[in-house]
Structure 1
Amino acid sequence: MFKDRVEAGQKLAEALEALGPFENPIVLALPRGGVPVGYEIARRLKAPLDVIIVRKLGAPFNEEFAIGALVEGEPERVVLNEEAIWRLGVGKEYLDAVVARERDELHRRQQRYRGTRTPLEHLAGKTVILVDDGIATGYTMKAALAAIREQNPAKIVVAVPVAPADVIPEMRRLADEVVVLEVPEPFWAVGAHYERFDQTSDEEVIDLLAKAKEA
């Protein structure tokens, strides 16, 4: 159990520091909740901080359940949970609509957080530390990993405070290293493992990105 995202980031930073040093590191956080975690890591490792914007594709009648994810890039990439789509009987019309809606939100966040700049153009040869406040189904993380891998980084490290045991083997397959502090059993939801799990605002994301640049 973590007090909040700041404490989770500090503990994760300690674990990563023990693994290092990392060659030419960059911390990429999934907004919005991954940014306070990533800020603490970037500060401790003295690495640049940026965001990689991924949008979960929610299921009909339960938007918290991921049937896939959309990740920024050229072109943008859609990763689908084909088994869940088949099991829930999700049709093409619904999929097209949810992708279009999340693409609009992805573009809004790109403009607010970075303007026209994209971090995916500058990852070749770097150690990318990919951070979120936790993993549930893993589809947003998988989408981010696919986009990052195409840019030929030297190494990808997935770092999260909490995740269910069943997603870790897939993360290990897609990344070079995986750091998870807590693997609770049973796993209910990421927020259940924080005392305070308020929604991170756009303003907080923008502020932390600016502070990281000044450090």
Structure 2
Amino acid sequence: MSFRKYESRNEAGRILVDFIENNQPEMLSKMKNTLADFFCFAIPNGGIPVAEGFCAETNIQYDMLIVRKIKIPYNPEAGFGSITTDGTVLINEPLLERLNLSKDEINKSIELTKSEIRERLEFYNKPKDLSEQYQNQIQKKQIILIDDGLASGFTMLAAIKMIKKYSPAKIYIAVPTAPQRTVVRIKSEVAQIFCPNIKRVMRFSVASAYKNWYDVSKSEVLEIITNSEHYINDI
């Protein structure tokens, strides 16, 4: 069965809701009928329009969870780990061993990534210390992590690691597309993964699931959350 490409990330978020309704109607009913028990986190930039579509259909509130890759000094397009908004660090240890970086190079890359996160927080008018806010949003809640797709899954694993620090009731992942190998790698870390388009291919790209793929800008994210009825900036 061929898969129709998503017109946009917002549409992908709405189709995620349709997917849950068609496959687990009781789950969608639970989401809609116990809104106070659920909360969504979108990974910017691409996860924000997906979450906006998803939350418009479910009425669940959402916030952003910034995750930035720790860039390899001589190859900034690749990373050897990730850092989340609250400073949670996840290192790809097997890769780091192969890279043979010095301690100074590692620390410099980590500090640079933390600086990028601070700049993002300032751009989106968010406080530097989010621990109390996260405690209110996450503790004993059913958390849905949203992105525009999974590739290696390392960014999502960092987000999961952070969320677990704040004692959620359950963690779910909702993504429009992902490779099967990544779903298999991550599924034991969460209660469930909702994904309408799981690809069984050797070479995978998130972009291939979208008709008109482009990189979402910080300005677009700011426009979405400023005009959103479901985005919550503070508690």
Same fold, judged at TM 0.5 (above): yes
Structure 1 residues 28 and 201, CA gap change in structure 2 (3 angstroms): same
Which one-letter code corresponds to 1:212 in the other structure? S
Within 5 A, what are the aligned runs for 1:145-156? 145-156=160-171
Provide the rounded CA distance (Å) in 2 between the counterparts of 1:192 and 1:199.
13
Which one-letter code corresponds to 1:13 in the other structure? V
CA root-mean-square deviation: 1.9
Aligned 8 A contact 1:9 1:37 in 2: yes
Provide the rounded CA distance (Å) in 1 between the counterparts of 2:45 and 2:214.
11
Provide the rounded CA distance (Å) in 2 between the counterparts of 1:112 and 1:146.
24
Q: Does 1:46 align with 2:59?
A: yes
Q: Does 1:203 align with 2:219?
A: yes
Calculate percent identity across the aligned residue pairs: 27
Deviations 1:26-51 (A, max 9, x none): 11100011000011111111011210
SS in 1 for 2:122: helix
Task: Give the equivalent residue in structure 2 for 1:25.
Answer: 38
> What are the ranges of 5 or more consecutive residues in structure 2 without an aligned counterpart?
none
Provide the rounded CA distance (Å) in 1 between the counterparts of 2:75 and 2:149.
19
> When the two structures are superposed, what TM-score results if normalisation uses the length of structure 2?
0.83
Structure 1 residues 51 and 88, CA gap change in structure 2 (3 angstroms): same
> What are the ranges of 5 or more consecutive residues in structure 1 without an aligned counterpart?
none
Task: Give the equivalent residue in structure 2 for 1:132.
Answer: 147
Structure 1 residues 173 and 64, CA gap change in structure 2 (3 angstroms): farther
Aligned 8 A contact 1:49 1:213 in 2: no
Provide the rounded CA distance (Å) in 2 between the counterparts of 1:188 and 1:64.
17
SS in 1 for 2:39: strand
Q: Which of residues 90, 98, 103 is equivalent to 2:109?
A: 98
Which one-letter code corresponds to 1:163 in the other structure? A
Deviation at 1:8, TM superposition (A): 1.3
Structure 1 residues 2 and 211, CA gap change in structure 2 (3 angstroms): same
Task: Give the equivalent residue in structure 2 for 1:159.
Answer: 174
Q: Work out the number of aligned pairs and report it.
A: 213
Provide the rounded CA distance (Å) in 2 between the counterparts of 1:211 and 1:177.
30
Q: Does 1:7 align with 2:22?
A: no
Q: Which has the larger radius of gyration?
A: 2
> When the two structures are superposed, what TM-score results if normalisation uses the length of structure 1?
0.90
